[in-house]
Amino acid sequence: MKHFFLASAFALAASTAFAAMPGELSDPIVAFTPVIAKNADTLELTETQRADLKAWLETMPAQREALQNEAVAARAALRDAIVAGAPAAERQSLADAVGKLETQLVMMRSDCTDHWRAVLTEAQFAKMLELAAGQ
């Protein structure tokens, strides 16, 4: 009985700790769009670049957020399966789904960086990297 209470307390503590994690995802490897938006004047963006930034901000954050929400839900399902003692095959399947979604998020940010590398001049991109490093 003592082991049951200890295990239950541990499961509750672990789920509470996980729930407190912001967004339940690891920090992004890169997040350059906010830096560009915040520093458009410093980067001396052209009107064409500003129009591209506006269009990007109107569509891409919502797409990323939708994928993040899907990843958070997948992590929650995996956490519930682990706590419930689901069969290993089920947990593996859920873990694979989490990994796939996390990979999609990383590649989405990678694609975003490729986009800005193409839109900005080499000098602007270098300046943006300096600004990002300072934040």
Residue 10: the pLDDT is 44
Residue 28: the pLDDT is 79
Residue 95: the pLDDT is 98
Question: Which tokens hold the place of 21?
Answer: 């994690």
Residue 27: the pLDDT is 78
Can you give the CATH number for the domain in which 22 is found? 1.20.120
Residue 23: the pLDDT is 56
The whole domain housing 32 covers: 2-133
pLDDT one-digit tens code per residue, 83-103: 999 999 999 999 999 999 999
Containing 82, the helix (H) or strand (E) segment is helix 47-84
Residue 17: the pLDDT is 40
Q: Which residues of the chain have pLDDT under 70?
A: 1-25
Residue 108: the pLDDT is 95
How many domains does the chain contain in total? 1
Residue 49: the pLDDT is 98
The three-point CA angle 55-58-62 to 5° equals: 135
Residue 4: the pLDDT is 42
